Structure 1
């Protein structure tokens, strides 16, 4: 008998034990309970021992940046390479993320629109202006003396690094996670949860302790990744409230005060928890439509009334520079010589502040965005998924950076801003810029745009927090997307708010950043294994097809497909 004929059908059933009846009805308690305990410990530690937690987190962060910075850089480069392989590999590219002949649920326009929404989000409102401006002041080229900060010869460098952090590398993290979830759930019939992506490596052992640990790691990473997003959002939301005349929410350093943090989180998490309790019905779709309309208005304002030609150049010249430099930027690791203030020390420090932080953020956020991408991509081919998830959202991010950030840089260089934008806090830069542009024309118009940004920010924050709670509960329930008991929704809504509040109060957004970089580390290992498992599964499927062995759960005798989700919930 030939080797081809020896290959067996793929695993199509993973019997994860869930509780029947009682408080944890439908949940895998071996995942839900440990995840709740770990997050509760983080909350209590940050709130009741803020000084100690800040010191310990900073010490751990220093070790991670010293030991694991290269791991973060190289593992994300690996994800990009895997995505390119899957898109170019003919046998892999044509495989359907569903049953054979299954068609996509959403047309291309709707699919791209939903990815656009996932790609822009809260972070874009902060960083579309703040990041190009920050790199315009300092980046590796200025540290090495190859360019001068805040001058025209540094603009291209600013965009090269901005595009790196929000471009193909970021979306490769999401694509790997989303592709794995879609492949093993919709082709194999396995539960829509992280552990299913490792079945080619560990098989049915994932129904037990090993699988529980993997899902717990995913839940903790997701909470910390979303906490990072909400942390930036809270700072910006408070800055916006201050701009529209609500005082007393800022501290002397220009950040959100404790009272501001508490008020912002009560509003954001209160609305998101109510939305989650409603079962993501009409309310969340209404909010999503508002997101899209307000985003188009705001971006259109920057393109038409901002630095139109500057943004055009930043978009296309920056994209060219980024693609040419991408291979080198993706694998280069700056090593510190331990001498504080030296060029090597400053380069390594900069890389820890920017690329390493971002790669940890995207990895921690991958279960959240990846699960969303999987749910909207059933029925598409792997090639469609990879190219769509990698290119379209990245290009939308580039458009925002080019015209929103480009307008800010142009105003500082040529428009007489004189540091008004540059010196503002990151979350406040977009408000400072629109106020500088509009106040001389009309105070009412300036106030109106500030209010528009605040409303847009609030809708993004509410939808992000709401979706995070539902996704965490889906993982805790062994991939079941059905309705969850209210106490669990309330717990995760409160836990997310308290993680953000505790870490912001104990050390500001840097404390959340540190916790997230630490929490993402174990999940980065899980994701690397998911990428290897996906390559192995696709290779074996090509062998099965040649041998006439079925590759989807509906064609395998005895397969139940009991992990197949019931479809995309209304959101």
Structure 2
């Protein structure tokens, strides 16, 4: 046994992170908090003071990343899927609990699944469940290569294959990796529930210093930019909805998208409400919003299931899912490289950069936010249960939304009745155009109001949760109450990031900033995978020699 102890050292169980004991930053790590604020504040000031330079530099960075790091993003996301499959199948890993031996799950499986879906996707469903299948129905790599016809019946399954790729198992595998790594080291080792703890087997006590600070700073920046991307899409759709219900066409510009005034008005409403929600903590207001959110989501989905293109939706769900699963091994590792001729290979590379690479960066940037949340709600579950539950069930819910909402839009246009009404609308307006066509003016207006309210609750809870998660990281994993000035700062900062980037270059500017911000955190997530596998291997060896693998919490 002494030889085992020499080969496998006692796991790190104490990771002190210095926090201020008094003053404005009491309870916060000053280095992480101030550096994060300066980075985000600097981005806002740069975009506002030098909009042309910011737009030009961001565009240049975007081209550089798509040229040199597109392959990295593709392979990293493939690795996350493979690691999740491996952990679920690995007996020594699958049986381990996210917590101590006697920990029990806090939530029922239904509540657990519901919370995972709401945290990980939420507002994206209202835009992309309709817009993305519609887009891929008209263009995708199969069309570009001449294997299918744009908007033809032979392209239906391809539209869903690519939509399911972006919102399916790959997306949820990235969230599962982050959540599992954080939960494992927080609840089995007693380390702080913050990003740096997930790298404990690799860097040890050095994580108490600037090595750990840098990891948390990268996570804060990625979270802000990832959530900014979500809010950017949400603001565009919120403005489209407000215009639909008659608040005013002045919210839109000549192209039918959000005007500068519309962006500012939407952000004042959304971020004002979310900041008030964050200040209230987890009281009645947040609970009421969550319940309203869930009720309206179920209502909208049932509407598409019953009154939409039900037969088409069933076909898109089951046959499309089978088509996606069969193609998945190839889709995960396909990298398109252009030759500069402007031909098919260049078009494929551009398509992958605009869609797959963008989505992989978005999910990576969102992973600190969703991962921390998943860790907090999954204590007491086994690794196998966590991986299967966090990857498969929410992905299936996404497939249902895409099949019935997007399928209804495609079928209405294919039948000729919609006559371009849905396809011609902006991405954020497509769901409103579709429901208005289906229901007519009066009932369509009522449905538009319901969708706007649902959208607002999603946006408020997303921004609210992001602010609280950022402050948890800044406070070295302390989940307790946070000082109001810091909540106000991040609420205002998040709204200014969205506004500044939208006004500088629209959604493309936010997209570029997010892809850049996600890049360093993608490396952190790869290290999370290595650290997690190393820790589980060591625990399995300890278990065979009667050594403990789960430890009491600090102070117990």
Instruction: Give the structure 2 partner of residue 258 of structure 1.
Output: 260
Q: Indicate if the aligned counterparts of 2:183 and 2:379 stay in contact, CA closer than 8 A.
A: yes
CA RMSD in angstroms comes to 1.0
For the 8 Å contact 2:436–2:443, the answer to whether it is kept is no
For residues 479 and 350 of structure 1, the distance between their equivalents in structure 2, rounded to whole angstroms, comes to 39
Match of 1:499 in 2: 497
Cα pair 1:182 1:377 within 8 Å, conserved = yes
In the superposition, the TM-score normalised over structure 2's length comes to: 0.98
- For the 8 Å contact 1:9–1:549, the answer to whether it is kept is no
Equivalences for residues 184-263 of structure 1 within 5 A: 184-247=185-248, 248-263=250-265
Q: Does 1:295 align with 2:297?
A: yes
Which residue number corresponds to residue 74 of structure 2?
A: 73
How many residues matched? 554
- SS of aligned partner of 1:519: helix
- Matches of 2:280 and 2:119, distance apart in 1: 21
What CA distance in whole angstroms lies between the structure 2 residues aligned with 1:338 and 1:253?
31
- Cα distance per residue 1:165-223 (max 9 Å; x no partner): 00000000000000001000000000000000001001000000000000000000000
**Whole-Å Cα distance in 2 between the matches of residues 526 and 244 of structure 1?**
44
Deviation of 1:119 (Å): 3.7
Which residue is equivalent to 2:169?
168
User: SS of the counterpart of 1:121?
Assistant: coil
Farther-moved stretch of structure 1 (94-103 vs 159-168): 94-103
Give, in whole Å, the separation in 1 of the partners of 2:323 and 2:168. 13
Q: So what's the TM-score if we normalise by structure 1?
A: 0.96
Pick the aligned partner of 2:554 from 557, 561, 566.
561
Q: Which residue of 2 aligns with 1:4?
A: 4
Q: Which residue of 2 aligns with 1:283?
A: 285
Change (3 A) 1:2 1:19: closer
- 1:119-518 equivalences under 5 Å are 119-247=120-248, 248-340=250-342, 342-439=343-440, 443-518=441-516
Distance 1:148 1:2 in 2: 68
1:215-270 CA-to-partner distances (Å, cap 9, x unmatched) read 00000000000000000000000000000011100011111001000000000000
Q: Identify which of 526, 529, 534 aligns with 2:527.
A: 529
Kindly provide the CA deviation profile for residues 276-319 of structure 1, in whole angstroms up to 9, marking residues without a partner as x: 00112111111111111101110111110010000000000110
Structure 2 match to 1:569? none
Q: Which residue of 2 aligns with 1:16?
A: 17
Q: Give the CA deviation at 1:46.
A: 1.2
Contact 2:229–2:510 (Cα < 8 Å) also in 1: yes
Displacement of 1:553 in angstroms is: 2.3
Report deviation, 1:345: 0.4
* Matched position secondary structure for 2:409: helix
The C-alpha deviation readout for 1:123-166, integer Å capped at 9, x for no partner, is 11000000000000100000001111111111110000000000
Over residues 450-493 of structure 1, what are the superposed CA-to-partner deviations in whole Å (9 max), with x where a residue is unaligned? 00000000000000000000000000000000101000000000
Q: Which structure 2 segments of 5+ residues have no match?
A: none
- Is the Cα–Cα contact under 8 Å of residues 104 and 379 in structure 1 kept in the other structure? yes
